[in-house]
């Protein structure tokens, strides 16, 4: 009896991880298959699809756009989110709870609702300002900054809570002014949290689909949107190669993050 | 120092709160095929969405899939979370990365993986044929089952990580004490581990249910043309239909249905937890 329960437990663990990892592993395997139509076993292995993928303009440009958007959105969102987290933790703020809920809001509102709302808002703003916003880099970046704020606030708040304040107090007692204390003491101590926030923000932006879907236009598409439009017609090794590049990028960023903060502690 | 919160708060207000207020306003407008959107103050879009059998079916499908996937996720995720939470620290880092990786590579990549696994010439059919279990290909892709498996896999990491955090906070000694006093493994689970991790089950289920209700890429790519869930239906109104007021009403129905069920569900779970 106890034996069979142990078996049930083990098979549930194996089934969970198989469900989570099988599709990711499968994409990587398929990207090396020689034949264009997916079938098993492979007729041989090749790297040709990676060249193919890069030569398809929608993927190459989507990749570059996604990198640009993620990098700029992270560069804007992480400082804003860090400043907000610091103020929330240290300043006497009226309505702190409400502000904190507002800042975490982009995580709570479903991407579909936020995405359509933002699309309508952009169209309205275009009429007011007489300027293109949808399908521009700035329009995409603004939307993605929204994604980076809640992650930054969450991760930096967690580091602020775990921080020993005596070093800050010592610096202040020795005559350092508040901005100096922040730049020379607090910020260096927050580094793991800020780095984790930056990497998470980058990944969230890079892989985002729902918020982005209506904001792209011809000639300016992000990689996930380009992949989705392709997949609505077919799945083949070229797409698998593109997806594998995304998997490698995310894995690399996670491993770097893990060196700064133990991922098992921040999530 | 308090002013430091302003830029981020203003940004979220401008790009999230204001757009949602605008979307709410648009949902009360009138749609005419010739003039598209006409300024009005009417509930007709909501009434049409609730009364139309097609959208009733779409909402019912969405609710059914979300419930089923949430239950499956709890059943599968609990053992995995326990395993992860009670792991030695140096291996735990690798296991955490393996749990997070599928979550962070994105839904589109994972849907592509399922398409490669479930297709007629895909991995699973090839394995079944090689084992002589089937003669022809089974239709796995473009079925409701594919969507349920796909969504469960997508949300499972969230459940595992949420539960693992809670299980980790349960002292091992509590389990050991119960076992030393003669409780069997299943009694320890039922009387110690499960009651103490119910807040995690509640939090994880709420998070997962919201994600399931709003799943977009997975039903679109794995469900085939006949299978419709709410999120793709909302986008259809904006991309193909151009009926913005109706699309906005659908988006709010989805949001409200998700919120109401989430609140009811977490209240029911927390009452059980207290009792």
Burial category of A236 from C-beta neighbours within 10 Å (exposed 0-12, middle 13-18, buried 19 and up): buried
pLDDT of residue B191: 86
Helices marked H in chain B: 6-12, 18-26, 44-51, 53-85, 89-105, 107-118, 123-130, 144-168, 172-180, 185-188, 194-213, 217-222, 230-236, 244-274
Do the domain assignments include residue B189?
yes
The Cα–Cα gap between B212 and A243 comes to 23
Backbone angles phi, psi at B139, to 5 degrees: -80, 100
Burial B99-110 (b: 16+ CB within 10 A, else e): bbbbbbbbbbbb
B248 vs A contacts (CB less than 8 Å)? 116, 120
pLDDT digits (tens, 9 = 90+) for B186-213: 888 888 888 888 888 988 898 899 899 9
Name the one residue in this structure whose structure tokens are 């005559």.
A175
Backbone angles phi, psi at B110, to 5 degrees: -70, -35
pLDDT of residue B274: 57
The Cα–Cα gap between A81 and A88 comes to 10
Residue B65, token pair as written in the block? 């899939």
Average pLDDT in chain A: 88
- CB contact under 8 Å between A15 and B76, yes or no, is yes
Which CATH number goes with the domain that contains A105? 1.10.3720.10
- CB contact under 8 Å between A24 and B110, yes or no, is yes
Compute the CA torsion angle B218, B219, B223, B225 (nearest 10 deg): -120
B235 vs A contacts (CB less than 8 Å)? 112, 115-116, 213-214
Burial B170-187 (b: 16+ CB within 10 A, else e): beeeebeebeeeebebee
Do the domain assignments include residue A181?
yes
pLDDT of residue B251: 95
pLDDT digits (tens, 9 = 90+) for A35-81: 877 777 788 888 888 988 888 888 999 999 999 999 999 999 999 99
Pick the residue from chain A with its C-alpha nearest to B118: A23
Q: Of B56, B57, B28, which Cα lies nearest the Cα of B44?
A: B28
Contacts of B253 (CB under 8 A, 6+ apart): B46, B49, B50, B59, B230
The Cα–Cα gap between B261 and B210 comes to 9
Which range of residues forms the domain containing residue A156?
28-266
Pick the residue from chain A with its C-alpha nearest to B187: A2
Q: How many C-beta neighbours within 10 Å does residue A267 have? A: 21
Which of A38, A110, A145 comes nearest B214 by C-beta? A110
* Per-residue confidence band for A1, with pLDDT thresholds at 50, 70 and 90: very low
Do the domain assignments include residue A213?
yes
The Cα–Cα gap between A3 and A61 comes to 55
Q: Quick check: A223 pLDDT over 80?
A: yes
B239 vs A contacts (CB less than 8 Å)? 214
- Residues paired with residue A217 on neighbouring β-strands, in sequence order: A220
The Cα–Cα gap between A39 and A35 comes to 8
B116 vs A contacts (CB less than 8 Å)? 23, 26-27, 30, 38, 235, 240
CA angle B76, B81, B82 (to 5 degrees): 110
Long-range CB pairs of B258-264, under 8 A, 24+ apart, other chains included: B258/A110, B258/B209, B258/B210, B258/B213, B258/B214, B261/B63, B261/B209, B261/B213, B262/B206, B262/B209, B262/B210
- The DSSP secondary-structure symbol of B137 reads P
What does the pLDDT average to over A99-105? 91
Do the domain assignments include residue A223?
yes
CB A266 within 8 A of CB A196: yes
Q: Of B79, B114, B208, B185, which Cα lies nearest the Cα of A15?
A: B79
Q: Of A126, A145, A155, A158, which Cα lies nearest the Cα of B9?
A: A145
Which helix (H) or strand (E) is B32 found in, with range? strand B30-32
CB A100 within 8 A of CB A153: yes
Q: How many C-beta neighbours within 10 Å does residue B246 have? A: 24
Do the domain assignments include residue B101?
yes
Do the domain assignments include residue B199?
yes
Residue A176, token pair as written in the block? 């350092």
Residue A211, token pair as written in the block? 């918020």
Which of B1, B96, B217 comes nearest A90 by C-beta? B1
Which helix (H) or strand (E) is B23 found in, with range? helix B18-26
The Cα–Cα gap between A232 and B218 comes to 11
Higher-pLDDT residue of A100, B88: A100
Q: Domain count of chain B?
A: 1
Which CATH number goes with the domain that contains B159? 1.10.3720.10
Which range of residues forms the domain containing residue B86?
64-227
* Per-residue confidence band for A264, with pLDDT thresholds at 50, 70 and 90: low
Do the domain assignments include residue B263?
no
The segments of chain B whose pLDDT lies below 50 read 275
Chain centre distance of CA B258: 10
CB A148 within 8 A of CB A81: yes
Residue B24, token pair as written in the block? 């709410």
CB A34 within 8 A of CB A42: yes
The count of CB pairs under 8 A between chains A and B is 285
Q: Quick check: A262 pLDDT over 80?
A: no
Do the domain assignments include residue B16?
no
What does the pLDDT average to over A14-26? 94
Q: How many C-beta neighbours within 10 Å does residue B43 have? A: 11
pLDDT of residue B275: 45
- CB contact under 8 Å between A20 and B153, yes or no, is yes
């Amino acid at each position: 009896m106890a034996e069979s329960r142990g078996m049930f437990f083990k098979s549930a663990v194996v089934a969970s991880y198989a469900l989570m990892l099988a599709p990711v592993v499968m994409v990587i395997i398929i990207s090396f298959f020689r034949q264009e139509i997916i079938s098993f076993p492979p007729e041989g292995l090749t790297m040709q699809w990676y060249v193919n993928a890069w030569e398809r303009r929608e993927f190459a440009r989507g990749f570059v756009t996604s990198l640009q958007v993620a990098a700029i959105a992270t560069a804007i969102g992480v400082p804003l989110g860090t400043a907000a987290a610091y103020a929330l933790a240290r300043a006497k703020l009226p309505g702190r709870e409400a502000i904190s809920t507002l800042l975490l809001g982009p995580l709570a509102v479903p991407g579909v609702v936020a995405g359509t709302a933002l699309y309508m808002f952009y169209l309205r703003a275009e009429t007011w300002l007489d300027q293109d916003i949808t399908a521009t880099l700035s329009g995409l970046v603004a939307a993605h900054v929204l994604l980076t704020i809640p992650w930054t606030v969450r991760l930096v708040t967690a580091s602020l809570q775990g921080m020993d304040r005596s070093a800050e107090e010592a610096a202040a007692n020795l005559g350092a002014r508040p901005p100096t204390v922040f730049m020379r003491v607090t910020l260096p101590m927050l580094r793991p949290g800020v780095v984790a926030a930056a990497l998470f923000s980058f990944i969230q932006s890079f892989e985002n689909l729902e918020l982005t879907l209506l904001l792209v236009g011809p000639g300016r598409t992000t990689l996930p949107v380009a992949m989705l439009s392709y997949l609505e017609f077919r799945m083949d090794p070229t797409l698998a190669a593109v997806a594998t590049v995304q998997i490698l990028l995310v894995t690399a960023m996670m491993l770097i993050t893990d060196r700064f903060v133990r991922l098992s502690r921040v999530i | 120092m308090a002013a430091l919160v302003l830029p981020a708060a203003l940004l979220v207000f401008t790009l999230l709160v204001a757009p949602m207020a605008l979307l709410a306003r648009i949902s009360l407008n009138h749609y005419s095929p010739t003039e598209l959107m006409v300024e009005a103050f009417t509930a007709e879009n909501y009434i049409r969405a609730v009364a139309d059998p097609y959208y009733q079916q779409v909402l019912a499908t969405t609710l059914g899939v979300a419930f089923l996937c949430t239950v499956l996720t709890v059943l599968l995720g609990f053992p995995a979370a326990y395993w992860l939470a009670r792991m030695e620290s140096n291996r735990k880092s690798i296991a955490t990365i393996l749990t997070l990786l599928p979550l962070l590579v994105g839904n589109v990549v994972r849907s592509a993986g399922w398409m490669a696994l479930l297709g007629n010439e895909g991995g699973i059919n090839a394995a079944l044929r090689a084992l002589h279990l089937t003669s022809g290909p089974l239709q796995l892709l473009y079925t409701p089952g594919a969507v349920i498996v796909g969504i469960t896999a997508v949300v499972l990491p969230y459940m595992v990580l949420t539960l693992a955090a809670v299980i980790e906070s349960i002292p091992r000694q509590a389990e050991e004490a119960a076992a030393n006093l003669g409780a069997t493994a299943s009694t320890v689970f039922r009387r110690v581990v499960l009651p103490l991790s119910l807040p995690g089950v509640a939090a994880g289920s709420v998070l997962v249910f919201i994600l399931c209700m709003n799943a977009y890429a997975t039903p679109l790519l794995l469900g085939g043309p006949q299978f419709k869930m709410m999120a793709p239906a909302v986008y259809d109104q904006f991309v193909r239909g151009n009926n913005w007021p109706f699309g906005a009403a659908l988006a709010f129905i989805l949001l409200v249905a998700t919120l109401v069920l989430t609140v009811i569900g977490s209240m029911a779970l927390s009452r059980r937890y207290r009792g």
